[in-house]
């Protein structure tokens, strides 16, 4: 997994609540057996004017000029600013892969759907929950300043605005540790293989029908 | 010991170890997989030279991509075909049981698990699919996971998790005629909102829930995720026990008696603490129809499309305006005046035998309206299809003008050929009305199977009681 330490980048505003994972990566692209290559079809229905299918050369498709991520400088953004319940719906981790492949490393929102939030950490993407009022203020500042950038430091758990103002954020200690070090959590869990075997031994006695 | 909720009990029984910050390793009893979210997980296993910790805990089935017509000809879409073949190869390589496309037991992963008894009370059940919450109907802890976690569970039999909070949703009293499990859960989502359950495990309880069949309870738990909760569950009672008994993967003989005794304890203790309690009166629930692009955007069939101008929350009002524009609806118009193009009866929410019966009862002796271009019924599994045909339901549907298809996820998410064209409007028994969910530009209204059948007959929404 890629490490996340500190990033500075352009903030793209996506001003609507309940952005679902079907919108982030439509179903037809889930037929892929790969983990990469989803960037060109991230937000496909909103991003292009004609329907898309797997196998197309997406660089030849007509872009929707009204969609925020098609507009400079947001097409170069690495931080996505969103509203409530971002990433709701399907458990498809392809949504995180698509955002990552597009160039996003962090998403800031007042709330996230649980599964998307969890999936993000597995691909080196940092989802940051901030108070709705702070998110609202960020939307205003982004609207007032084209090319608005933020710096996110995971170690210090701090976001620095262009003005120098600092916003602190919370992150789960274990997830922070894995992100900072780019750790494979399967390897970490397998260090406890003896505990897992001991659990199985006891459980087999209590509930043999589960084995 | 302090009084515990059902979720507390399920959690406690599966903790392998807990770190100081509360992060725990949770043991997984049953891992269901399908073709869409597993290939990258298998690839990860191979790249790290790992193999499944317990191949016997895995059960695989292709469902999302499979065609619902001309099954014998196989899959014509080469991309989809490769994904289904990849599942077959992976299952063969790692000795995992798979119900292939030509197996009578094949079907939607959340239908076949319970049908086979592969989902049992007291289990932890995961699958790379958000509707895994369905299995909570059995007093199990079941939730959807992403592909990285699919790989993690395969490799370690465990998930890294923190305990969720407890929410109780009690639906008191008896439901009126024509009100089904689907209407109950849509009403719940309308009340708590699509993010209302985020961070919680929900226990559904109350007389109206206890009175539901297992099929109905699965419908309710299936949509817990549409209310934001990864896991929904219902306590074990006689209905649960009766459903499980005799299923192929269920215990038998002496082990059955031992299991049954243990399962009887899978209820919340008297006085157990819930972090949040929501109560609904079943008598107030009417047949529901969604009007927007989020499952929380629902109203009773006798209501009108809501007006964003009366919404005080500006972010919410903005979302409503976007939804109305996408859905091509005017605020204030009666729901019963919404004309439809297609009707879909199926999905992991509503494709079990009881759903087939409910739709057939409405369709019997009637005809699909002329303005309906396609009304399709997609049973949830080969066994549901077989049962429905044994009861003559397929004949009723076909006589009324419905198409009777092969089992799979079908037009719930339109990964196969079954989809809406841009602008088409559909009454659907599925779980999501998101933009483009059933095909780019398609407009989805979520309803119960009886309401979907009634809409097919009338050509527009109608209260099933007044058809």
Average pLDDT over residues B337-353: 98
Distances (CA, A) of B307 to B64, B331, B433: 36, 5, 19
**CA distance linking residue A169 with residue A187, whole number of Å:** 28
Q: Which two tokens stand for residue B178?
A: 């024509």
Q: Which of B80, B148, B156 sits opposite A31 (nearest CB)?
A: B80
Q: In chain A, which ranges are continuous DSSP H helix? A: 21-24, 44-47, 94-102, 114-122, 132-144, 173-181, 185-190, 193-206
Chain A: residue nearest B123 by CA? A210
Q: Which of A35, A89, A185 sits opposite B152 (nearest CB)?
A: A185
> DSSP letters along B299-362, please?
EETTSB---GGG---HHHHHHHHHHHHHHT--TT-BGGG-B-SEEEE-TTTS-SHHHHHHHHHH
Per DSSP bridges, beta strands A149-153 and B58-60 are: unpaired
| Chain A residues within an 8 Å CB radius of B148 | 93, 119, 122-123
Which chain B residues in 79-108 lie under 8 Å from chain A, judged by CB atoms?
Answer: 79-80, 82-83, 86
3-state SS class at A171: coil
**Does A115 contact B129 at a Cβ distance shorter than 8 Å?**
no
| Residues paired with B166 in a beta bridge | B201
Q: Which of A45, A93, A196 sits opposite B156 (nearest CB)?
A: A196
Structure confidence by residue, pLDDT tens digits, B249-263? 999 999 999 999 999
Distance from CA of B79 to the nearest CA of A (A): 6
Average pLDDT over residues B115-131: 98
CA–chain centroid gap for B322, Å, is: 26
**Does B144 contact A207 at a Cβ distance shorter than 8 Å?**
no
Residues constituting chain B? 467
Average pLDDT, chain B: 97
Encode burial over A175-184: b for 16+ CB neighbours within 10 A, e otherwise.
bbebbeeeeb
Which candidate, B414, B421, B411, B412, places its Cα nearest to that of B441? B421
pLDDT at B211: 98
For B366-369, the CB contacts below 8 A with 24+ separation are B366/B400, B366/B457, B367/B400, B367/B401, B367/B457, B368/B343, B368/B400, B368/B401, B368/B402, B368/B456, B368/B457, B369/B456, B369/B457, B369/B458, B369/B459
Contact B325, B334 (CB under 8 A): no
In this model, does residue B380 exceed pLDDT 80? yes
3-state SS class at B271: coil
Residue B34, sorted as left (phi over 0), alpha (psi -120 to 50) or beta, turns out to be beta
Output the pTM of the full model: 0.97
**CA distance linking residue A63 with residue A50, whole number of Å:** 8
3-state SS class at A193: helix
**Does B43 contact A84 at a Cβ distance shorter than 8 Å?**
no
Contact B412, B431 (CB under 8 A): yes
Per DSSP bridges, beta strands B15-18 and B24-27 are: antiparallel
pLDDT at A2: 87
The CATH number assigned to the domain with range A6-182 reads: 3.20.19.10
Contact A103, A39 (CB under 8 A): yes
| Chain B residues within an 8 Å CB radius of A30 | 36-37, 64, 415
What is the residue extent of each domain of chain A? 6-182
| Chain A residues within an 8 Å CB radius of B410 | none
A173 contact B CB<8A: yes
Tokens 């203790």 found at:
B269
pLDDT at A102: 97
B435 contact A CB<8A: yes
Average pLDDT over residues B387-398: 98
Structure confidence by residue, pLDDT tens digits, A75-123? 999 999 999 999 999 999 999 999 999 999 999 999 999 999 999 999 9
**CA distance linking residue B320 with residue A178, whole number of Å:** 39
Contact B117, B252 (CB under 8 A): no
pLDDT at B422: 95
**CA distance linking residue A159 with residue B58, whole number of Å:** 43
pLDDT interval class at B70 (50, 70, 90) = confident
Chain B: residue nearest A54 by CA? B79
**Does A114 contact B199 at a Cβ distance shorter than 8 Å?**
yes
pLDDT, tens digit only, all 211 positions of chain A: 889 999 999 999 999 999 999 999 999 999 999 999 999 999 999 999 999 999 999 999 999 999 999 999 999 999 999 999 999 999 999 999 999 999 999 999 999 999 999 999 999 999 999 999 999 999 999 999 999 999 999 999 999 999 999 999 999 999 999 999 999 899 999 999 999 999 999 999 999 999 9
Number of H helices, E strands in chain A: 8, 7
Q: Which of A114, A186, A209 sits opposite B151 (nearest CB)?
A: A186
Which chain A residues in 65-94 lie under 8 Å from chain B, judged by CB atoms?
Answer: 83-85, 88-94
Contact B59, B30 (CB under 8 A): yes
Distance from CA of A129 to the nearest CA of B (A): 13
Distance from CA of B225 to the nearest CA of A (A): 7
Chain B: residue nearest A21 by CA? B434
Give B143's contacts (C-beta < 8 A, 6+ positions apart). A115, B125, B126, B132, B133, B136, B230, B231
Phi and psi at residue B327, in whole multiples of 5°? -80, -10
| Chain A residues within an 8 Å CB radius of B297 | none
A51 contact B CB<8A: yes
Best residue in A22, A48, A91, A201 for a mutation probing chain B (most B CBs within 10 Å) = A91
Chain A: residue nearest B438 by CA? A27
Chain A: residue nearest B256 by CA? A209
Tokens 């498709």 found at:
A61
Report the 10 Å Cβ neighbour count for B360.
24
| Chain A residues within an 8 Å CB radius of B152 | 185-186, 189
Which candidate, B110, B145, B109, places its Cα nearest to that of B126? B145
**Does B83 contact A33 at a Cβ distance shorter than 8 Å?**
yes
In this model, does residue B459 exceed pLDDT 80? yes
Distance from CA of B63 to the nearest CA of A (A): 12
Q: Which of B132, B158, B199 sits opposite A196 (nearest CB)?
A: B158
Q: Which two tokens stand for residue B292?
A: 């927007």
Give B188's contacts (C-beta < 8 A, 6+ positions apart). B169, B171, B204, B220, B227, B278, B280
| SS3 track for A148-164 | CEEEEECCCCEEECCCC
DSSP symbol at B186: H
ipTM: 0.96
Structure confidence by residue, pLDDT tens digits, A27-39? 999 999 999 999 9
Contact A91, A117 (CB under 8 A): no
Report the 10 Å Cβ neighbour count for A137.
14
Q: Which two tokens stand for residue A181?
A: 């070090």
Encode burial over A9-25: b for 16+ CB neighbours within 10 A, e otherwise.
bbbbbbebbbbbbbbbb
Best residue in A109, A207, A208 for a mutation probing chain B (most B CBs within 10 Å) = A207
In this model, does residue B1 exceed pLDDT 80? no
Number of A to B CB contacts under 8 A, please give it.
Answer: 194
Chain A: residue nearest B195 by CA? A85
List the B165-172 sheet strands across, edge first: B231-233, B200-205, B165-172, B276-281
Contact A175, A121 (CB under 8 A): yes
Residues constituting chain A? 211
**Does B262 contact A20 at a Cβ distance shorter than 8 Å?**
no
Structural Rg of chain A based on CA atoms: 19
Report the 10 Å Cβ neighbour count for B243.
21
Structure confidence by residue, pLDDT tens digits, B283-307? 999 999 999 999 999 999 999 999 9
């Amino acid at each position: 997994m890629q490490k996340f330490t500190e990033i500075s980048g352009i903030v793209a505003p996506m001003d609507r609540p309940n952005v679902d994972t079907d919108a982030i990566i439509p179903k037809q692209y889930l037929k892929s057996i790969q983990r990469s290559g989803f960037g060109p079809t991230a937000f496909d229905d909103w991003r292009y004017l004609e329907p898309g299918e797997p196998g197309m050369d997406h660089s030849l498709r007509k872009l929707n000029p009204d969609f925020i991520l098609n507009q400079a400088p947001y097409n170069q953004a690495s931080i996505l600013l969103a509203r409530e319940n971002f990433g709701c719906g399907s458990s498809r981790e392809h949504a995180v892969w698509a955002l990552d492949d597009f160039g996003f490393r962090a998403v800031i929102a007042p709330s996230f759907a649980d599964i998307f939030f969890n999936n993000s950490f597995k691909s080196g993407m940092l989802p940051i929950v901030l108070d709705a009022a702070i998110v609202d203020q960020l939307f205003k500042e982004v609207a007032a300043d084209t090319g608005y950038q933020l710096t996110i430091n995971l170690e210090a758990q701090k976001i620095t605005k262009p003005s120098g103002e600092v916003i602190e954020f919370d992150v789960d200690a274990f997830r922070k540790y894995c992100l900072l070090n780019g750790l494979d959590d399967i390897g970490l869990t397998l260090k406890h293989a003896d505990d897992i075997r001991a659990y199985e031994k006891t459980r087999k006695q209590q509930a043999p029908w589960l084995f | 010991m302090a009084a515990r909720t059902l979720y507390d009990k399920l959690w406690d029984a599966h903790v392998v170890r807990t770190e100081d910050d509360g992060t725990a390793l949770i043991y997984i009893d049953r891992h269901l997989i399908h073709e869409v979210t597993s290939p990258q997980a298998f690839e990860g296993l191979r790249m790290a030279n790992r193999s499944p910790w317990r191949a016997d805990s895995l059960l695989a089935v292709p469902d999302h991509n499979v065609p619902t017509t001309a099954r014998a000809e196989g899959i014509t879409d080469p991309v989809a075909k490769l994904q289904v073949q990849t599942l077959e190869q992976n299952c063969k390589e790692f000795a995992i049981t798979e119900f292939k496309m030509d197996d009578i037991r094949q079907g939607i992963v959340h239908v076949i698990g319970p049908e086979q008894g592969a989902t049992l009370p007291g289990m932890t059940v995961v699958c790379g699919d958000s509707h895994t919450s369905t299995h909570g109907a059995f007093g199990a802890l079941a939730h959807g996971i992403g592909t990285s976690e699919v790989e993690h569970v395969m490799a370690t039999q465990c998930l890294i998790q923190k305990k969720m909070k407890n929410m109780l949703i009690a639906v008191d009293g008896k439901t009126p005629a024509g009100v089904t499990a689907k209407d109950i859960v849509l009403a719940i989502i309308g009340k708590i909102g699509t993010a209302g359950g985020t961070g919680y495990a929900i226990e559904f309880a109350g007389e109206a829930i206890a009175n539901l069949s297992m099929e109905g309870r699965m419908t309710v738990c299936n949509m817990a995720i549409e209310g934001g909760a990864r896991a929904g569950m219902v306590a074990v009672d006689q209905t649960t026990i009766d459903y499980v008994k005799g299923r192929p993967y269920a215990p038998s003989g002496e082990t059955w008696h031992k299991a049954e005794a243990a399962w009887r304890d899978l209820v919340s203790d008297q006085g157990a603490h819930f972090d949040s309690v929501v109560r609904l009166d079943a008598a107030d629930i009417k047949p529901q129809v969604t009007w927007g692009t989020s499952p929380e955007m629902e109203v009773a069939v006798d209501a009108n499309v809501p007006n964003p101008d009366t919404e005080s929350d500006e972010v919410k009002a903005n979302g409503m305006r976007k939804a109305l524009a996408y859905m091509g609806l005017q605020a204030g118009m009666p729901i019963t005046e919404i004309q439809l193009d297609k009707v879909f009866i199926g999905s992991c929410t509503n494709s079990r035998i009881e759903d087939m019966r409910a739709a057939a009862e409405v369709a019997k002796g009637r005809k699909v309206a002329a303005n309906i271009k396609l009304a399709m019924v997609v049973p949830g599994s080969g066994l549901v299809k077989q049962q429905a045909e044994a009861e003559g339901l397929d004949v009723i549907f076909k006589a009324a003008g419905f198409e009777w298809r092969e089992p799979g996820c079908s037009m719930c998410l339109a990964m196969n050929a079954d989809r809406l064209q841009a602008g088409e409007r559909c009454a659907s028994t599925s779980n999501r009305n998101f933009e483009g969910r059933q095909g780019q530009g398609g407009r989805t209204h979520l309803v119960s199977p009886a309401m979907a059948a009634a809409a097919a007959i009338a050509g527009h929404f109608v209260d099933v009681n007044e058809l």
